[in-house]
Amino acid sequence: MTTTMISDGDLRSKVLAELRWDPRVQDRHIGVHVDDGAVTLTGAVYAYGTRLAAQEAAHRVEGVRDVANDIKVDVQPGRGTDTELAQAVRRMLEWDERVPDTRITSTVSNGWVTLDGTVDTWSEREDAEHVIANLSGVQSVTNNICIAKHPAKSDDLRHVIEAVLTRRAERHAKRINVEVSDGVVTLSGPVDSLAERRALVASARLTPGVHAVNDRLSVESYVWVATPAS
């Protein structure tokens, strides 16, 4: 097993570089603190979409295990009322053809948007959140949208997921165990990186017929070495 040693200081530098590189972020008001591989993001931005993009950027950095997103969204004055924001949310849901808007409801309170409803796939659930993320006035989004349960034989669904995982990570596919029960998929086994782990879980979630994924994959390629106290 290959091991890579990385200090908290080096990891912090990599996360900062990724934040500067991402055109959705490029915000000098975001702070990064790393403690034993866990990354904490702090500061303030003007849009929930920027907060979400910063979180995604940190997760992309190899070696990052966990991210605590403490970034605040400072809504600029004159953002409008919650009623106006609710109307804007509805328009965005209606305009995006990827989102089944008639099956989704929203609640807005002090800029906090809560999405409810039932959709057919995980991608529709994620698209609904992302399409409203950059609306002016959105401070946070709680996504309570559920994935509908569709009749599917567990064995058939397992074979489909195994084929998907083989395309994504052929070298490790035989070591990954896939269990399916009533549309709930459990993945277990070793992977090389956190990025690979997230990609495999996302692939399973996007498979039609899957409405939940239990992630029990383990990252084996890193032994973490924290920066010694000075």
Does this chain's domain 8-73 share its CATH topology with 154-219? yes
pLDDT single digits (tens) 73-100: 887 666 678 999 999 999 999 999 989 9
Using 50 as the pLDDT threshold, list the residues of the chain that sit under it. Answer: 1-3, 221-224, 230
Tokens 């807005």, residue located: 108
Other CB atoms within a 10 A radius of the CB of residue 175 amount to 12
pLDDT score at 218: 82
pLDDT single digits (tens) 38-77: 899 999 888 888 898 999 889 888 888 789 999 988 876 6
Q: Does domain 154-219 have CATH number 3.30.1340.30?
A: yes
- Taking 3-state DSSP, the helix, strand and coil percentages for the chain, each rounded to the nearest 5, stand at 35, 25, 35
pLDDT score at 152: 64
**pTM confidence score:** 0.63
Q: CB–CB of 207/181 below 8 Å?
A: no
Mean pLDDT of the chain: 83
Q: How far is CA 141 from CA 19, 73, 166, 181, in A?
A: 21, 11, 34, 30
User: Could you name the CATH architecture of 8-73?
Assistant: 2-Layer Sandwich (3.30)
Q: How far is CA 165 from CA 57, 116, 123, 203, in A?
A: 24, 30, 17, 7
User: Could you name the CATH architecture of 82-147?
Assistant: 2-Layer Sandwich (3.30)
Other CB atoms within a 10 A radius of the CB of residue 10 amount to 13
Tokens of 21: 């590189």
pLDDT score at 181: 85
Instruction: Parse the chain into domains and list their residue ranges.
Output: 8-73, 82-147, 154-219
